[in-house]
Amino acid sequence: MSYEKYLSVAPEIAEALKAGKPVVALESTILSHGMPFPENVEFAHKVEEIVRGEGAIPATTAIIGGKLKVGLSSEELDLMCKADGVGKVSRRDVAVYLATGATGATTVATTMLIAELAGIRVFATGGIGGVHRGAQETMDISADLQELANTKVAVVCAGAKQILDLGLTLEYLETYGVPVLGYNTDEFPAFYCRSSGYKLDRNVQTPEELARILYTKWDLGLKGGVVIGNPIPEEYALNYDEMEAVINKALQKADEKGIRGKYITPFLLAEIKDMTKGVSFASNLQLAYNNARLASKIAVAYSKLV
């Protein structure tokens, strides 16, 4: 197929996929645009260790040297973490970065795209993008949602970031037929917070049942992905109302500075980190680790079904 010339899969991952072993995709935007150096290096290695510890193979993605990279070497991980000249790449940017040889960190949407091309079905991230607050006027809706509507990858996340309009995000996903499942929760998680007030249709109790749902969906030939909401561990969760107050202040600041589009999420997360004196950053790490654990368990269970 024509896309294969752009795809560079690390030998270990290629062998695992060929043998039907479990593989978990990981994004790189969280490294290049979501965390400071060198803390992001430690995080990158820790996430990969967690995936391996659960019996799966980690596949961190990026765009480097005109290739869609699936699995990064230590040198490539350092390149993404130092983030010097590393762009933030969504689906619309992929062809530009490949054609020009630019280096890009993959968002949720682009990681899903690359994972599907490589044959990886499960992806662990922090939180998905969604419909931004005030989108009725700005039309600011994350490309993650359209990717979920069309790309056959399950995304394990701590819900969507609380900076978004969670109600409209769930409505959008429902319209496009994307299942949103809770892992041992009746409510859609709100990233730093375990609950959001938005009820889910399905509370799934085990990774094995989640794997069976994924298998059934794609065995039917239904297109698109699945959102698996995995709440942040209770000991690291933040208070919803307190975070709402912080987020509103950060949104006001972004509005005053005229920050919009793909720049708004990194700006807001940085402001929230400052306002919470780093507590939100520590929570961000723990929810990402938690998602990697669950995604790996699902990938292991799914590999036994196919």
Phi and psi, residue 266, nearest 5°:
-60, -40
Sequence-distant (≥ 6) Cβ neighbours of residue 119 within 8 angstroms: 17
Sequence-distant (≥ 6) Cβ neighbours of residue 239 within 8 angstroms: 193
The rounded distance, in Å, linking the Cα atoms of 149 and 200 is 18
The rounded distance, in Å, linking the Cα atoms of 63 and 208 is 32
CA distances from 213 to 54, 156, 173, 179 (A): 20, 14, 17, 10
Given 69, 88, 161, 217, the catalytic residue: 161
Q: Which residues of 133-169 are buried (b: 16+ CB within 10 A; e: fewer)?
A: bebeeeebbbbbbebbbebbbbbbbbbbbbbbbbebb
The rounded distance, in Å, linking the Cα atoms of 141 and 295 is 25
Annotation marks residue 75 as catalytic? no
The answer to whether the CB of 162 falls within 8 A of the CB of 229 is no
Strands 57-64, 226-229: pairing kind: unpaired
Annotation marks residue 297 as catalytic? no
The rounded distance, in Å, linking the Cα atoms of 268 and 271 is 5
Residue numbers annotated as active site: 27, 161
